[in-house]
Structure 1
């Protein structure tokens, strides 16, 4: 029986910064076939409906700090 195929390790899709007031800045990018590329800046204030889910997904991040943004599961962002 052949060994199972290797699952590629997920790579970050961007970076996040938490401003001193708790606002999250997410700088994200995506690449597709050929020359397809996209970049986006998302700003989420603490009262945004998806803020808690995004913050939890980022893991530990303190005001003034930075975190890698890993791919989001469906429905989180």
Structure 2
């Protein structure tokens, strides 16, 4: 199940989800905007990119998450 904006806020209040640093403005319809660190690693042979978020995220055992790139970044190449 994908959490709604209100369900994300509730999970944070209940301690099931923690993000640091965090601002409530990062929560959108059914996602949380994260920020990438400046330093990334590009493995050229397969075009693979490793990156780290500025936020530390913790989830309770009954939640899971996934991270994917934004379309605006993909359009930049």
TM-score (structure 1 length as normaliser): 0.21
* More strand, by proportion: 1
Rg: which structure is higher?
Answer: 1
Which structure exhibits the higher relative contact order, with contacts defined as CA atoms closer than 8 Å and separated by 6 or more residues? 1
